[in-house]
Structure formats: structure tokens, C-alpha cells
Structure 1
């Protein structure tokens, strides 16, 4: 893990100095060596490899689904920001300022971060770092909601860009993009897309956004209960056994993390094309290869997501409430 030759040499020199100093003042030796640090690095790698084996053994379907969703979002990012105007869902003149950034470029870049955050969550889970994945899941929730709102609302994307120009990002965020505002904006969009035919669904979506935001904020803000509990990992083989999670340890709790990741991807992937059609009168052009692949991947991910949900229900596995209720209603 310590791979820089110059740093390794300096560590060896510094260790000798510390050892001499400690022996002079305590008459006791410190036997820490560079090889000991290398052994700790090997231990970290070994723990991560063991975690990957267990996660791959017990969560094959969730991991496969996550990767499929990540690939689909990546294609959306590429398809939205093509050069041809006919391939761009948002009006290029939506933001009128001196810089006049194309709003498609902004949405495309937001989806780059959705893709990369999702991939990071998947890798953290596989390495046994579930609490860290949940911190990022809180960020991803907010980012996916923001992407939808900025894609649908010209005033919001203008504010989002103008805040950067004016150095007012923090104030604008607090005023316009807090949970209360995000949730209201999303509910309004859902109604425009026709989801208000099922008021129960709208209620569930809104409530679950609030629950998810508050739940994962506990990880982001290092709440006492999370710090104390998540320093351990519940075993797959024995639910009553908790392993010390230093350097990472696979845990059955990662099932909830991956289910929520997959729900975020399912919701975002499902809503973007109907949003483009309803708000911007944009239908992905069939003669555009990148959009064709994006549409195919969207359909594929949606079908496999619902298939995995059915598998879970058939096997009696615990699923996150958001995923279960919403997939049934979709």
C-alpha cells in the first residue's frame, strides 16, 4: 500500500529516529518496521478480497442489477450531450447569460456524477465498506432528485447556474434545493407526468424520499447510534454474530444499501424519457445510434429490475419499502 520509493525510504529513516528516541526516554524498544506496515497493507487487501467473495456469493443479483443501471445512466449522459440539436432533449437557449452554457451539457455532467457515485457505492459495498457507501448514498439521492428537477424546470436550472456566477451557491442551495423544496418540486413533476392518477403512489414516493433523506443523513452527519453500531458487521451465516469492521467487512446490511442504490437508478432511468417527452416534446431519435442503445438499456434495466424484485418476493427476502411499493405501482 505504501508504494512510493521516496516515501518508503523516508519512513525507514524516521522509524530509526523514533526508535532511538523512545529507547532513550523509556528504555523500551518499538519494533515497528516498514515490513510491518506492508503486512497491514496486505491485511487490508485480504479483507477486501474476502468481502468481495462473500458479497458476490450472497448478493449476485443486486450487484448485477446495479452494474446494468450504472451502464444505462452512463449512456444517458453521453446521449444527452451530442452535437446534433435533434439529439438534445433540452432547448439550447434555456439559460440566457453571458456564458450561455447549454443546459444539456449541465444535465449530462450531473449524470456523470450519478454514474460515478453509483459505481463508487458498488465498489465500497463489495470491499466491505458499507457505512461509507451509505454516506455516498445520501449524496446520490440528492443528486438524482436535483438532476430530475433541473431537467424539468427552466427557472431552477437558471438559478443553479447563476448561483455559481454570483458566488451565491450556498445561499441559493439553502433557499431552493433543501429537502422540502426538492420533494415539492418532484411531486409537481410526478403530477405533470400523470402519476397523480394514483394518489397513494404519490404519497408513498414523497414519504419515502423524506425517510431515505433523514435515514442516510445520519451516516453523513456521524450520528452516535450509527458510529457505535456500524463499527461492526452482521454476519451472513449467523445473524446474532457481529464482526469488528476495521478496514472493512462484508455484512448482510449491504442488501439494503444495494436495494436503495438500485431503486434510485430505477426511478431516475424510468422518469427521464417521459420527462423529456412531456416537458420538452423530445422523443429519442430512432436514427441516432447512441439514443437507440440508451433506450434499449433503459428497457432492459427496467425489466431486469422488476424480475429481481419478483425473485426477492418469491424467496421471502427483505426488501426496502421504497422498492417494493413503487415497483408494484409503476
Structure 2
């Protein structure tokens, strides 16, 4: 059996001997090697099929790098948030946004890796957390009062329940000059994501059961059990919704940096990170819009 740990291999061999002796069986180590061969076959199939989503996943990769580079940019500014804050509060605010943006960046990496490994259902569970964190981050950068409450740490249950965060974000968007049709679409999109992915996260019947059955990308119409992972056509929806989440987040976040907080490029290091972040942002936006056009033509 292909175990990296010699200690575990020894334990396994001992357990085989005990099992055989107590129940008069004849289980051999080679039986477990057959299981390893089956798993390798599944993984080889996944490696061949995951290229099906390589172009779509590359857009998530650009968005991930955009947000990740943004962290270094705001990290160059001790006072990148407008308002009257103490030195200690500024330090906590900087740590807060770097922490939230880091979790968003790493969450995108995790989602991509899960999809590439044929674990779409698990990617959707992670996406639910990522989407909600992106909404929270936007509320905090737009509203000074909510930011003050958040960094105090002891009022989370009272003020930061998911529905309150969504309602606050609706209020923020309604105060912008965005067309009403876009505002309505944003609100509708958040409600749909929260409802659908919450039911997945909380294992509401029948989502875990249905989520274990997937449509293959090889053209077969019959559903297949996704045991140990399988690349599925369902991932197209997951990837699209993840990219939509990134798109809406970076549009609103960069808008806040420029219009509310007047973040400017100042030093040499600052310019290095800001330039990369802005270029990646524009690349993602155009790539996302191109993907929508491609999708409309396909329909």
C-alpha cells in the first residue's frame, strides 16, 4: 500500500494480522494495494478531465492575484481608511482588512483546487463562506460605524448576522449612482447565492444526496456517484458564480478606495503594488465581461 508513513504501514500490517487471527480470514496487504490502484485510476481520470475548466479557472486565478496584490498596496498605508481614528485603531483596521483580504485570496485558491480535484460540492461549501466574507468586507470599507463595531469584537452576534450584512450592503449600493436595474440585480444575486449555498452548507435535504451525484463532462447523460472525486459539468455554474462574486467585490472595493478613502499612489513600493493590482483588476473585469459574451453566444 502506498503509505508515506512507515509507522502507519506497520500499524496497518498489525491490524491485518489481528483481523485474520480473530475472524479466521485471509486478508492480505495486496488487497489494499488494489484499492490504491483504483484511486490512482480515478485521479488519473481527474487529471485528464480537469483541463476542461482550465480557461474558466484561470479567471479565478487573476481575481485571486488581484485581491492578493491589493493587500500589499493597502499595507503600504498606515492610514488608508478615512476618518478620525487613534493609532491603535488604525493598526487594528489595517490588520483587519489584511486578514479579511487574505482569507478571500486563500479561499479562491481553495475553491480552484477543489474543483480541479473533482470536488465541486466541497467547493460550493467553501464558496458560501467566501461570498459572505466578501459582503462583510465591503460593508466595513464603506461604513465607518460598522467598522468601529466590528473591530471591537464583542458585538458580532448583535450587528453582523448575515441578513443584516446583506441589508446594509443593499443600503450602501442604493446610495451610489448605480442604475436601479443593477442595484436590483445585485440584491437578487446575493439572495439567490445565500439561499442556495446555505442549504448546501447546512446539509439541508436533499442537497448532500443530490450533490453526491454529478453529470460527467464526457457526454454521458447518466448521473455518476462522485466518490473520491469526479470532474463534473456542474462546476461551470460554480465557477461562474465565484467569478461574479469577485467581479462585484472588486468593483465596489476599488470604488471605495478611490472615492471614500482617497487612496493614492505615493511611494516607490506603493507604486509597484498599486500598478500590479490595478492592471490585474482591469484584466479580470475585461476577462469576466468577455466570458459573459461567450456564454450568451453559446446560449
| Normalised TM-score (structure 1) | 0.82
Q: Which residue number in structure 2 is paired with residue 31 of structure 1?
A: 27
Paired with 2:231 and 2:206, the residues of 1 have a C-alpha distance of 19
Structure 1, 106-115 or 7-16: larger mean CA deviation: 7-16
Q: Residue 214 of structure 2 aligns to a residue in which SS?
A: strand
Q: 1:153, CA displacement in angstroms?
A: 1.9
Match of 1:71 among 47, 61, 65: 65
Q: Which residue number in structure 2 is paired with residue 80 of structure 1?
A: 74
Q: Deviations over 1:238-274 (max 9, x none)?
A: 3621111110111100100000111111111222111
Paired with 1:48 and 1:156, the residues of 2 have a C-alpha distance of 46
Query: Is residue 2:54 matched to residue 1:60?
Result: yes
Q: Residue 81 of structure 2 aligns to a residue in which SS?
A: coil
Aligned residues of 1:76 and 1:108 also touching (Cα < 8 A): no
Q: Point out where structure 2 has 5 or more consecutive residues left out of the alignment.
A: none
Q: Which residue number in structure 2 is paired with residue 248 of structure 1?
A: 229
Q: CA RMSD, aligned part only? A: 2.2
Q: Point out where structure 1 has 5 or more consecutive residues left out of the alignment.
A: 24-28, 317-330
Q: Which residue number in structure 1 is paired with residue 80 of structure 2?
A: 89
Paired with 1:95 and 1:156, the residues of 2 have a C-alpha distance of 16
Query: Is residue 2:37 matched to residue 1:47?
Result: no
Paired with 2:187 and 2:128, the residues of 1 have a C-alpha distance of 16
Query: Is residue 2:6 matched to residue 1:12?
Result: no
| Normalised TM-score (structure 2) | 0.90
Paired with 1:154 and 1:244, the residues of 2 have a C-alpha distance of 48
Query: Is residue 2:170 matched to residue 1:187?
Result: yes
Q: How many residues align?
A: 296
Structure 1, 48-57 or 176-185: larger mean CA deviation: 48-57
Paired with 1:153 and 1:38, the residues of 2 have a C-alpha distance of 58
Q: 1:315, CA displacement in angstroms?
A: 1.9
Runs of 4+ in 1 over 4 A off after TM superposition: 284-287
Match of 1:132 among 111, 122, 145: 122
- State the structure with bigger RCO (CA 8 A, min sep 6), 1 or 2: 2
Matches within 5 A, 1:288-307: 288-307=271-290
Paired with 2:35 and 2:147, the residues of 1 have a C-alpha distance of 48
Aligned residues of 2:82 and 2:260 also touching (Cα < 8 A): no
Q: 1:96, CA displacement in angstroms?
A: 7.1
Judging changes above 3 Å, is the alpha-carbon distance between structure 1 residues 15 and 292 closer, same or farther for their aligned structure 2 residues?
same
Aligned residues of 2:67 and 2:105 also touching (Cα < 8 A): yes
Q: Which residue number in structure 2 is paired with residue 265 of structure 1?
A: 246
